[in-house]
Structure 1
Amino acid sequence: MKTLAALLLSCAACLPMAAAHAADADYPSRPITIVVPFPPGGSPDMLARVIGDKLGQRLGQTVVVENRPGASGTIGAAHVARAAPDGHTLMMTPNTFVLSPLVLPKGVVTFDVQADFAPVILPAKTLMVLAAHPRLGVKNLPELVTYAKAHPGLTYTGSANGSPQHVAGEMLKQMAGIDMSFVSYKGLAPALNDTLGGHVDLIFVPYGNVAQHVKAGALTVLGGLDEERLASAPEVVPLREQGYPRMVVGVWTGLFAPRGTPAPVVDRLNREINAILALPDVKQRLEGASQILVGGPPATLAKVVKRDLDTYAPIVRSAGITAD
Structure 2
Amino acid sequence: MFRMLRMKTLAALLLSCAACLPMAAAHGADADYPSRPITIVVPFPPGGSPDMLARVIGDKLGQRLGQTVVVENRPGASGTIGAAHVARAAPDGHTLMMTPNTFVLSPLVLPKGVVSFDVQADFAPVILPAKTLMVLAAHPRLGVKNLPELVTYAKAHPGLTYTGSANGSPQHVAGEMLKQMAGIDMSFVSYKGLAPALNDTLGGHVDLIFVPYGNVAQHVKAGALTVLGGLDEERLASAPEIVPLREQGYPRMVVGVWTGLFAPRGTPAPIVDKLNREINAILALPDVKQRLEGASQILVGGPPATLAKVVKRDLDTYAPIVRSAGITAD
TM-score of the aligned structures, taking structure 1 as reference length: 0.98
Structure 1: how far apart are the matches of 2:113 and 2:266? 24
Corresponding residue number in structure 2 for 1:113 = 119
- Please state how far the C-alpha of 1:313 moved relative to its aligned partner: 0.2
Structure 2: how far apart are the matches of 1:23 and 1:310? 34
User: Match of 2:98, SS?
Assistant: strand
Larger Rg: 2
Structure 1: how far apart are the matches of 2:285 and 2:30? 23
User: Match of 1:121, SS?
Assistant: strand
User: Match of 1:111, SS?
Assistant: coil
Structure 1: how far apart are the matches of 2:231 and 2:304? 23
Deviations 1:88-117 (A, max 9, x none): 000000000000110000111111111111
Structure 2: how far apart are the matches of 1:7 and 1:216? 75
- Please state how far the C-alpha of 1:280 moved relative to its aligned partner: 0.4
TM-score of the aligned structures, taking structure 2 as reference length: 0.96
- Please state how far the C-alpha of 1:8 moved relative to its aligned partner: 4.9
Structure 2: how far apart are the matches of 1:12 and 1:225? 51
Structure 2: how far apart are the matches of 1:211 and 1:13? 57
Structure 2: how far apart are the matches of 1:217 and 1:281? 33
Deviations 1:258-281 (A, max 9, x none): 111111111111110000000000
- Please state how far the C-alpha of 1:11 moved relative to its aligned partner: 3.6
Of 28, 37, 43, 1:31 maps to 37
Corresponding residue number in structure 2 for 1:163 = 169
- Please state how far the C-alpha of 1:222 moved relative to its aligned partner: 0.3
Deviations 1:252-303 (A, max 9, x none): 0000011111111111111100000000000000000000000011111011
Deviations 1:182-240 (A, max 9, x none): 00000001100100000000000000011111111000000000001100110100000
Corresponding residue number in structure 2 for 1:147 = 153
Structure 2: how far apart are the matches of 1:207 and 1:8? 61
Structure 2: how far apart are the matches of 1:302 and 1:16? 25
Of 222, 228, 231, 1:222 maps to 228
- Please state how far the C-alpha of 1:13 moved relative to its aligned partner: 3.4
Percent of matched pairs sharing the same residue? 98
User: Match of 2:250, SS?
Assistant: coil
Structure 2: how far apart are the matches of 1:193 and 1:301? 33
- Please state how far the C-alpha of 1:15 moved relative to its aligned partner: 2.4
Structure 1: how far apart are the matches of 2:11 and 2:85? 48
- Please state how far the C-alpha of 1:7 moved relative to its aligned partner: 5.0
Deviations 1:123-176 (A, max 9, x none): 000000000000000000000000000000000000000000000000000000
User: Match of 2:40, SS?
Assistant: strand
- Please state how far the C-alpha of 1:74 moved relative to its aligned partner: 0.6
Structure 1: how far apart are the matches of 2:13 and 2:271? 29
Corresponding residue number in structure 2 for 1:274 = 280
- Please state how far the C-alpha of 1:17 moved relative to its aligned partner: 1.9
Deviations 1:295-320 (A, max 9, x none): 01111101100100000000000000
- Please state how far the C-alpha of 1:20 moved relative to its aligned partner: 1.1
- Are residue 255 (structure 1) and residue 276 (structure 2) matched? no
- Please state how far the C-alpha of 1:14 moved relative to its aligned partner: 2.7
Where structure 2 has 5 or more consecutive residues not aligned to the other structure, the ranges are: 1-6
* Alignment RMSD (CA, Å): 1.1
- Please state how far the C-alpha of 1:18 moved relative to its aligned partner: 1.6
Structure 2: how far apart are the matches of 1:62 and 1:176? 51
- Please state how far the C-alpha of 1:12 moved relative to its aligned partner: 3.6
- Please state how far the C-alpha of 1:5 moved relative to its aligned partner: 6.2
